Structure 1
């Protein structure tokens, strides 16, 4: 069947627009991560940077692929029967993103379960997903668009493995988190939130992967499957970034009354005018001085004695130095 522009790059263009929106979310989440978690381990920081770089390269390749057909080769229907290098190579970037994300979640499964068998299965499925993505890229360079049906098994097994890994991750995290319930309401509510997030993330990417397999198996000569495939990579990246950025809100949910520490050394640079900062504690200190002048002879009429306003007066014996009316002593 001859492919039309609407079913090929028309579908790809729709997928590109939605992917561009999700890429904007990726940029925002990446910025929030580096701003809010500057003390994270270097491995996490490098992983986020790598995912952002791969996602940027992927969206750039998608733009090049669509632009080369819809603009550079406008009104050339023969181009629809061929493939471009950018359209073929973008598959590997999405595959590498999927591998990194699935390894990240496999580590989480290992942390909560300590089940080596389950973790290895997830890793094997992830490697199959990435490996068959490379096979698909090589086959795309060697096969014309009309013979893409020969690569259906590659896509079916590769993305089927990805869907199986994603759903297995979601179910495993949900199961082992449910075993961690303590009976305390606040802790159990937090665990329920984590379970919902794990199921939503795992099943969302799994369903999208299944849609790619189904659409490519039914319509291998158009690009409906490409639109779903481009969305899959963006969902992978944003799922990891959302998991990393949600840690602070989950911590506050677990300890709502813990408050925040105030760094007093930076209060003058806080930008709040001093008049608007009301102290929570006010301490008034009254200092009263007591002076006594002693004379050996009766004091002259101009002399005066000041007594303390606070407490009884306590006097000490005269010292030898107090021997003159010109030598007052202050205690």
Structure 2
């Protein structure tokens, strides 16, 4: 084994690829789990959202399988490692294409989400995100096709391929950054009246780091920087593996964090802050007798009449025994008979 690679060379090639593979498999585990959670919680969600989740899950599964096959080839078929990881296999090149497609689907979904919550003047931002992510998709597919035709990883350092790949990663990063900024702007509680705010440090961390795409965007920035500095080396491969997993899980986390109403998801801007709403209903209901138990469900952001249920408890003496009457009416009053002695009103 005189021609075998040294320990440092193995670390810079196969070691880097293996680290990226382990991180990618952890990310795929989260993808599998979150897909299960989604279909368990939202069985009646819109068909387009279901199709998006299914497509991302299948793409991530196929990409993970291709990474596994590439790792097997590099670690088993190339033994005893007389040369480094110099060439990209067809499976590795195909995985690059699938990862690019998955990131494009995620960013297009975010762009559509922003489009629906923006005014006509503010829709320039989602349009820019869609254009940049589509351009990144085209450049990424060109990169994958180029690696299939010329599998030498070192040739990515040439001016032409280097510009294509760097532009692809830069556009993906800028689109992700713009998505994060616009989501934070539109989904702040002060922007939407009576919107339920995010409470607790953990929920805030999940919202700002994961579901709004900042984690995937930061890893994408690392991908861009490492490839820009050393395209012929393999240090960018772990960032490539992890970035697509984070983008997919960001979208799945955003979907799974929604409230559930009759099997459908309710977006953040469609939720109602119960504290603000109960304060309003309490002040308006004080003019009437008794307390109110108010059940508020804001479904599909459609203006619906709110049902106020007031419960009054009366006591009548009949044959020496106490008789408790509960009368319910749709208009909120609870009286079919005349109470003798109002004992107590219960209010929530």
Look up the match of 1:23.
28
Q: Which runs of 5+ in 2 are unaligned?
A: 1-5, 261-267, 276-293, 298-317, 320-348
Query: C-alpha separation between the residues in 2 aligned to 1:76 and 1:14?
Result: 18
Please identify, of 159-168 and 192-201, the stretch whose mean Cα deviation from structure 2 is larger.
192-201
Query: C-alpha separation between the residues in 1 aligned to 2:11 and 2:232?
Result: 12
Q: Is the CA contact 2:213–2:250 (under 8 Å) kept in the aligned structure 1?
A: no
Deviation at 1:116, TM superposition (A): 2.9
Q: Which runs of 5+ in 1 are unaligned?
A: 261-285, 288-331
Look up the match of 1:148.
156
Alignment of 1:1-331 (within 5 A): 4-78=9-83, 80-114=85-119, 115-143=122-150, 144-150=152-158, 151-178=161-188, 180-181=190-191, 187-189=196-198, 197-198=207-208, 201-248=212-259, 254-255=273-274, 258=295
Deviation at 1:176, TM superposition (A): 2.3
Instruction: Label 1:76 to 1:204 Cα distance change in 2 as closer, same or farther (>3 A).
Output: same
Deviation at 1:216, TM superposition (A): 1.3
Instruction: Label 1:235 to 1:189 Cα distance change in 2 as closer, same or farther (>3 A).
Output: closer
How many residues were matched structurally?
Answer: 262
Normalised by the length of structure 2, the TM-score is 0.67
Secondary structure, counterpart of 1:78 in structure 2: coil
Look up the match of 1:277.
none
Deviation at 1:33, TM superposition (A): 0.6
Query: C-alpha separation between the residues in 2 aligned to 1:179 and 1:253?
Result: 10
Moved over 6 A (4+): 192-196, 249-253
Query: C-alpha separation between the residues in 2 aligned to 1:76 and 1:187?
Result: 57
Secondary structure, counterpart of 2:143 in structure 1: helix
Instruction: Label 1:196 to 1:53 Cα distance change in 2 as closer, same or farther (>3 A).
Output: closer
Q: Is the CA contact 1:51–1:237 (under 8 Å) kept in the aligned structure 2?
A: yes
Instruction: Label 1:68 to 1:174 Cα distance change in 2 as closer, same or farther (>3 A).
Output: same
Instruction: Label 1:169 to 1:106 Cα distance change in 2 as closer, same or farther (>3 A).
Output: same
Encode CA deviations 1:212-259: one digit per residue, 9 max, x unaligned.
111112222222211111101110111111111111287899448859
